[in-house]
Amino acid sequence: MPQTPTLYSFRRCPYAMRARLAIASSGLTVALREITLRNKPDAMLRASPKGTVPVLVTQDGVIDESLDIMHWALGQSDPEGLLAPDARALIARNDGPFKTALDRTKYAVRYPDLDPAESRATAAAFISDLNAQLGDQPWLFGDRPRLADLAILPFVRQFAHTDLDWWNAQPYPHAQRWLATFKASDRFAAIMTKYTPWKDGDDVILFP
């Protein structure tokens, strides 16, 4: 029997969230190992010395980039049709300039030489573009979610939660509705189940 792939994950990490979202959509099963960032298990570090989540260990090797895990899962099974259209440029903006500005907003104390208000304004410019693309449609590319939605929404959630009062006061009604729909979804609830951090010898937890 083929060995079940093992996914090292951290519940609140947006990169790990989007990997879990894609795996859940694909219908594939992995053995989930929840970790704590302050005490990363040796088994994960042996598989991926860079020490960031998510890490997927398969019979064919190790995948330790979240987008690659999404494509690994959906490349085998994509029952919800998430892979089309190609949105690499939009996701690259999320993972590059937006994520940088998000970090400089959320962790402003780490960047004493930068103005957090300017960082937030830079991040907000991306939200404004997403708001325009959404318009009156529920998802970025129409009436159902695609890969881009699942890849970007965990980061938009993280940005919104840096200051929810500020977020709710902004003129981005379509982006606010989009995020609220995602947060209220059964799929989001399913991938956010709380697990005790894994240690060697624990029983296998199958996900989803």
- In terms of Cα–Cα distance, which of 93, 97, 124, 119 is closest to 107? 119
Span between the terminal Cα atoms of the chain, in Å? 20
31 and 70, same domain (yes or no): yes
DSSP 8-state symbol, 139: B
Contact 133, 140 (CB under 8 A): yes
Task: Please tell me the distance from the alpha carbon of residue 153 to that of residue 161, in angstroms, as a whole number.
Answer: 12
State what percent of residues in the chain have pLDDT above 90: 95
Domain CATH code at residue 11: 3.40.30.10
**Does 28 share its domain with 97?**
no
Predicted confidence band at 86 (pLDDT cuts at 50, 70, 90)? confident
* pLDDT at residue number 81: 96
Q: Are 200 and 111 contained in the same domain?
A: no
Q: In this structure, is residue 132 part of a structural domain?
A: yes
pLDDT tens digits for range 35-76? 999 999 999 999 999 999 999 999 999 999 999 999 999 999
pLDDT (mean) for 86-108: 95
The alpha helices in 27-98, defined as continuous H runs, are 42-47, 66-76, 88-93
CATH classification at residue 171:
1.20.1050.10
The structural domain count of the chain equals 2
Q: Are 97 and 89 in contact (CB under 8 A)?
A: no
d(CA 33, CA 8): 5
In a domain, 109, yes or no: yes
* Whether pLDDT at 194 is above 60: yes
Average pLDDT for 111-138: 96
pLDDT in tens, 7-26: 999 999 999 999 999 999 99
pTM: 0.95
Is 116 in the same domain as 195? no
Angle between the N-to-C axes of helices 99-106 and 116-134, in degrees from 0 to 180, rounded to the nearest 10: 130
Where on the phi/psi map is residue 115: left (φ > 0), alpha (ψ -120 to 50), or beta? beta
Q: Domain of residue 141: give its range.
A: 88-188
| Residue 162 covered by a domain | yes
Question: Model confidence at 97, in pLDDT bands (50, 70, 90)?
Answer: very high
Does 77 score more than 80 pLDDT? yes
Kindly state whether residue 47 falls inside one of the protein's structural domains: yes
pLDDT of 2:
64
Task: Note whether residue 71 is domain-resident.
Answer: yes
Q: What are phi and psi of 32, to 5 degrees?
A: -90, 130
Quick one: pLDDT at residue 79? Answer: 97
Asked if 101 and 147 touch (Cβ cutoff 8 Å), the reply is no
Tens digits of residue pLDDT in 164-191: 999 999 999 999 999 999 999 999 999 9
Whether 34 maps to a domain, the answer reads: yes
- 106 belongs to a structural domain: yes
Could you tell me which residue, 25 or 200, shows the higher pLDDT?
A: 25
Residue 1 located in a structural domain: no
Ramachandran area for residue 52 (φ above 0: left; ψ -120 to 50: alpha; else beta)? beta
The closest alpha carbon to 150, from 11, 6, 9, 20, belongs to: 20
Q: Tell me what pLDDT residue 22 has.
A: 98
